[in-house]
Structure 1
Amino acid sequence: MNKKDLILGFLIGFATTLLGSYIFITIFTEFKFITGLQIMKSHGNLGKIITLGTILTLIAFGLLLKMNKEMMARGVVLAVIVMAIITLFI
């Protein structure tokens, strides 16, 4: 059960990061999501967009801790760590 919770938390963290990046690109730029990602990558700003997208992950982490889902919260933290590593290499 613990591994399922950890994987589910990882997926929640990854999904909230993607959702946050989508919201940021569609609201604060005039581009569509895929076009915005391509343009941000060509300008070298993709890591910054991913970092801004993790703000929603903070909310998910807090909610999971409030609901006493510690293993899922660990999965969310793991997703943030993986995203940070990805951001370093992009």
Structure 2
Amino acid sequence: MKKDIFIGMFVGLVANAIGLFLAANLLGKGDDFTVVIDAAAKEGFLGKLISLGAILNLIAFFIFIRKKQDYRARGVLLITVFIAVFTFIFKLF
């Protein structure tokens, strides 16, 4: 059970990282990934960019639900909630 939750958390983190990379490349208009992240941090929309990256977690979540791997889906959901709380706190400061 714990192993499946950790696998789901890992998949959630990887899916969010890939989603962040894709969102930065699509919205960055051909700029380098680090340049886009730096510009997003300076202009105050890094939290929105991270939230866009979390969209891929939905895909992973529903794949795990469809395969009846509920504990892995729970891990993805935990990471998604953690990312939401992180972006909320990031916006406050």
Using the size of structure 2 for normalisation, the TM-score is 0.90
Give me the CA root mean square deviation: 0.9
| Structure-1 separation of matches of 2:34 and 2:27 | 14
Q: State the one-letter code of the partner of 2:7.
A: L
Which contiguous aligned blocks of 4+ residues in structure 1 show a shift greater than 6 angstroms?
none
Match of 2:61 in 1: 61
- Deviation string 1:32-81 (CA, Å, 9 cap, x unpaired) is 11221111011110110011111111011010111111000000000001
Moved more, 24-33 or 50-59: 24-33
Give the length in aligned residue pairs. 89
Unmatched segments (≥5 aa) in structure 1? none
| Structure-1 separation of matches of 2:59 and 2:12 | 10
Identical aligned pairs, as a percentage? Answer: 30
| Structure-1 separation of matches of 2:47 and 2:63 | 25
Q: How many angstroms does 1:28 deviate by?
A: 2.2
Using the size of structure 1 for normalisation, the TM-score is 0.93
Match of 1:40 in 2: 40
Unmatched segments (≥5 aa) in structure 2? none
Match of 2:87 in 1: 87
| Structure-1 separation of matches of 2:58 and 2:22 | 15
